[in-house]
Amino acid sequence: MIAAFIFFAHFIFILLIFTWKWQKDGISGAIMNVSLILVLFAVGWTITGMIAKFVMEPKGLGLYYDRDTFSLTLLTIIEFFFYRIYYNRPTAADKGTQ
């Protein structure tokens, strides 16, 4: 159940970024940002899965919080800080409009 919520949160985030970038940069910028998010999600989940393997057993902490859910939680925390920095930095287009 927790893993489903994390996937749903990522889906909503992808939709928000796609819409925001489509309005700001056009369809090519929106597709590029969605591709970036999907690649970082796939690679990040693999890396955090390896980290989770060292930290806990496959059963995890309970029925709803197993090792995969722990790796998704760790990935979401890392992504939160990365995307907060990535999408808040000014770009050349932003500097030209100010």
> Which pLDDT tens digit goes with each residue over 21-73?
999 999 999 999 999 999 999 999 999 999 999 988 877 777 778 888 999 99
27 residue type, one letter: I
Confidence of residue 93 (pLDDT cuts 50, 70, 90): low
Q: How far out from the chain centre does Cα 91 lie?
A: 21
Q: Is the predicted pLDDT of residue 96 greater than 70, yes or no?
A: no
Q: Is the predicted pLDDT of residue 98 greater than 60, yes or no?
A: no
Q: Is the predicted pLDDT of residue 95 greater than 70, yes or no?
A: no
Q: pLDDT value at position 46?
A: 96
Residues 6 or more apart in contact with residue 67 via CB below 8 angstroms: 49, 52, 53, 56, 57, 58, 59, 60
Q: pLDDT value at position 81?
A: 95
- Using alpha carbons, select from 64, 65, 44, 47 the residue that is nearest to residue 56: 65
